[in-house]
A and B are shown apart, each in its own frame.
Chain A
Amino acid sequence: MANIYILVPQRGLDLEVLDYNNGNYELKMCPKIAYEKFSVHIKLGDQDIHGSPFMVNSEPGNTTDVQIVKIENNRVGERCTFEFLAKDSLGNEKVRIILFFNKCEAVYNTMLYSQKSGGDNIILMLKGVAVHSKIFNPNVPISIKDLKTGRYIASFTSTLAGNYSIGVYKIQTAINPDPVFLKSVEVPLFAGICP
């Protein structure tokens, strides 16, 4: 019997070897970390077997979570920026979403906008309650610019302060277009500075 060595990245890769007892073997690999590119060497003694090393690109998995990482200038009348990180179920960063709030004008029931990036079809659902009003205006436009790098820049306008909630959803597939909720992010929009 021979010893066959499997040389793998330092961490984040589950391995399993199946012996079919007929001369056939199967090496199963399940990466946990998005390395982008790594190699797997399989050696018999000091020499790689035929076909080794194997080059592998491990990409982030499907987006299942989002995390807000930055809020800047969240006052009415100012340009507000919100940056989000989207991650897969294993914590690998998937996409970045950046939102700009600029002179927000009303309060806001629901706003839907979708944009594809990095293989995900992201939908942002905006809900808000103004401090002194319960008026809802579902027609507040929100725009998203896809930077094609996994980052989004989105914007809408409002002039009323309040507590806002941004729900981030994604559409799984064109066959199953129902949006799947990922996370709701609470964003306060404070009153502007008195002139």
Chain B
Amino acid sequence: MPFYCSKLVQNIKCGETISIGFKAKDEFGNDKMTGGDQFVAVSGMLTH
């Protein structure tokens, strides 16, 4: 089930909030019409 991004992130200021939109599709490219997928945050990435 591929996900597709609809927005790109550029510059943001600390304390401000930005967002990235995603659209879920199935393996055939059809738009998924339901939610429920789990997002898991993993920290520890290098910053540069």
Contact = CB atoms under 8 A, between A and B. Distances in A.
Nearest to B14: A61
B22 A8 contact: no
Interface in B3-17: 3-5, 8-17
Q: What's the interface size class on B, roughly?
A: 35 or more
Contacts of A30: 15-18
A7 B42 contact: yes
Contacts of B9: 29, 40, 54-56
A1 B33 contact: no
Contact of B41 (A6, A23, A58, A61): A6
A85 to B, nearest CB: 16
Nearest to A92: B14
Contacts, number: 171
A49 B25 CA distance: 11
Contact of A41 (B24, B31, B37, B45): B45
Contacts of A22: 33-35
A58 B32 contact: no
A23 B4 contact: no
Given A4-B38, A6-B41, A51-B8, A23 B33 contact: yes
Contacts of B2: 44, 49-50
A20 B19 CA distance: 14
Interface string A29-49: 111111111111110100001
Contacts of B23: 23-25
A64 B10 CA distance: 24
B28 interface: no
Nearest to B15: A61
Interface of B: 1-5, 8-25, 31-48
7 contacts: A21-B34, A23-B24, A27-B19, A30-B16, A35-B47, A56-B12, A59-B13
What are the 3 tightest A-B residue pairs by CB atom distance, in nearest-first order? Answer: A51-B5, A23-B32, A21-B35
Given A6-B40, A6-B41, 6 more contacts: A3-B38, A4-B37, A25-B24, A25-B37, A27-B20, A37-B48
